[in-house]
Every structure is written in structure tokens, then in C-alpha cells.
Amino acid sequence: MDKYALQKSVTVSGTSQCLHIAHVSTDRVWISGNKGNLILTNKTGVTLDRVTGLPEYGGGVHTVNSDSDVIYIDSHGNIIKLSTDHKVKTTVIPYTYPWTPWSVYSSPSTGDLLVGMYNTGTVTGQVHRYTNTGEHMQTIQHDNTGQGMYSDPQYITENRNEDVIVSDFGRHAVVVTDSRGRHRFTYTGPTPGSRLNPHGICTDALSHILVCDYYTYTVQIIDQDGLFLTQIETEQHGIYKPWSLSYDWDTQLHWVGSAIYNKVNIYRLINEGDDLTGELHSYMIV
């Protein structure tokens, strides 16, 4: 069984929570925290820059594209791109009533933007795919029986096979479709009847899917087909309520942030077996 070893703990200045993490590089990450703040920090926790005016609901409200631009949802529901030099803000996708963007992710393989949307009137969710310039390409909503797949798509990411992976708080599930929007599986916990309270989500070089479970206060790891593999017991390392996740493709380290502290733990997967570095030169997820 794979195990995860704590490598380092980082205290992030300028926030009291770490609600979402997106890597710019090995040494720099954007972390969204409380009061709508977005903080650029280094591995020692020093604040390098700050953006304000983001939503406060604690979802996957920002991402980083292949050009190292940060893309985020503002408090008005617009999706904004901040240039690499942090001087120019561009509205990529304007808010369109009644669908409010809950989460955003820049695909490293295609450059597309995947956006989890929420409709407060119908309490339903959708996933929309846009080009990197904001042109709408695809809507994902129903499974092959016509039933809606999403309720509250708070976090969204993509696996190496281009599966679209949603952490849906309202459904208490991780919902996975292929790139065409066809439902592949829904994960609701490691055993039948178990409960899942999902938040932050990411994938890694082995195509594992990692999700923060706010019910068991662990990070659960499943394979690309939904089979439970293991979990990280973060509480013993000072992360009592894990909420956010990111994977650094250069170092193969997993970052786990807390919902109640300004603390991030960095873990390494041990007993990996295979050398992964040869596959990482052209692929990065943030």
C-alpha cells in the first residue's frame, strides 16, 4: 500500500485559512484564503503579492495556466486573468445569470478552461468548457439516463487521460466524466454506505485522484477508475481539517492546506516503485 510521508509544514502569512492552492512553480503558489484574499507565497510562507475581491465560499476559485497567468473568479462572478507581471486584468468569461461560477481550472493538455457552475434557483450544477480566450465549447450536465450529475461543483480538475473530475459538495461525491462529458463513475467513499464531504481535489503522475474529506478529516486517494487506495491521516501532522490540495509535477510533492489554520503540509508518496520523471517534462497540473 502506498504511504505518504510529511516533508515540510509551511505557515502562510496574510491569511487564517488555506482554501485552495495552485502552483505557479516549485517555489511559488497562489493560495486563496479568508475574506476573498488571494495570496502569492513562496515555500517559506512569505507573501509575495495579493489580490482581493474574490468570493468567500472557499471553492476552487483560481487556477494557473501554462503561461503562469493566474485566472480567478471575482466576487461578481466574472472570470478574470491576471497577467504574469500582475499588472493587467482581463475579463475572460463574464458572469451570465443565473449560472454562477463556483470553480475554475486551466487544462495543461489543451489550455481549455473548465468551469463548475451553480444555479441557486434550481440548486443544480453544470460543467462548462471554454477556450483560453473565453469561447464556450461544451456543457456537461446529464448522465446517460438524463439525470443531472452535479449539484454544487466546488472544485474541478482534470486527470492525465483528460477525465473531468468534480468535487461536488452538494452530492457528497466525486463525479468523473470523460472529456466528451460521458459519466464514468461517482465516488462516495471507501466503503458502501460511507459518507463523503468532499472539498479540494487534485491528481498526480500516477493518475491517482486525491480529495479532501471534511467528514473523516483525511485526504482520500482513489485510482483513475474510482477504486479506493489509501488515505493521508493529516490530523497527526497538525492539519485537523484538510480543505485544499495541489500537486507539484516537478517535485512530485502533494500540498495539503487547512480550513482553520494558515498552514500547508507538503507530503511525498513513498514506495512509488516506478520512476515518474520521464513522463513529467511536458505535463503540469495546477
Q: According to the model, what pLDDT value does residue 275 have?
A: 45
Q: According to the model, what pLDDT value does residue 56 have?
A: 86
Residues in CB range of 221: below 8 A, 6 or more apart: 2, 208, 209, 210, 228, 229, 230, 231, 232
Q: What angle do CA 203, 12, 267 make, to 5 degrees?
A: 35
Give residue 131's identity as a one-letter amino acid code. T
> Which residue is it, cell 475574506?
35
Split at pLDDT 50, 70, 90, the class of 273 is low
Residue of 220 and 34 predicted with greater confidence = 220
Interval 92-108: pLDDT, tens: 999 999 999 999 999 99
Q: How far apart are CA 133 and CA 247, in angstroms?
A: 25
* CA nearest to 198, candidates 206, 210, 207: 210
What's the grid cell of residue 28? 511559488
Interval 211-224: pLDDT, tens: 999 999 999 999 99
CATH number of 3-275: 2.120.10.30
Q: According to the model, what pLDDT value does residue 240 have?
A: 87
Helix (H) or strand (E) holding 256: strand 253-258
Look up the pTM and report it: 0.92
> If you average pLDDT over every residue of the chain, what do you get?
92
Q: What phi and psi values does residue 237 have, to the nearest 5 degrees?
A: -110, 15
Is 48:31 a contact under the CB 8 Å cutoff?
no
Q: What angle do CA 19, 226, 138 make, to 5 degrees?
A: 70
Q: How far apart are CA 255 and CA 275, in angstroms?
A: 20
Q: What angle do CA 72, 76, 82 make, to 5 degrees?
A: 30
Q: What angle do CA 60, 42, 245 make, to 5 degrees?
A: 30
Split at pLDDT 50, 70, 90, the class of 133 is very high
* CA nearest to 174, candidates 151, 147, 142: 151
Q: How far apart are CA 91 and CA 162, in angstroms?
A: 26
- Domain limits, the chain: 3-275
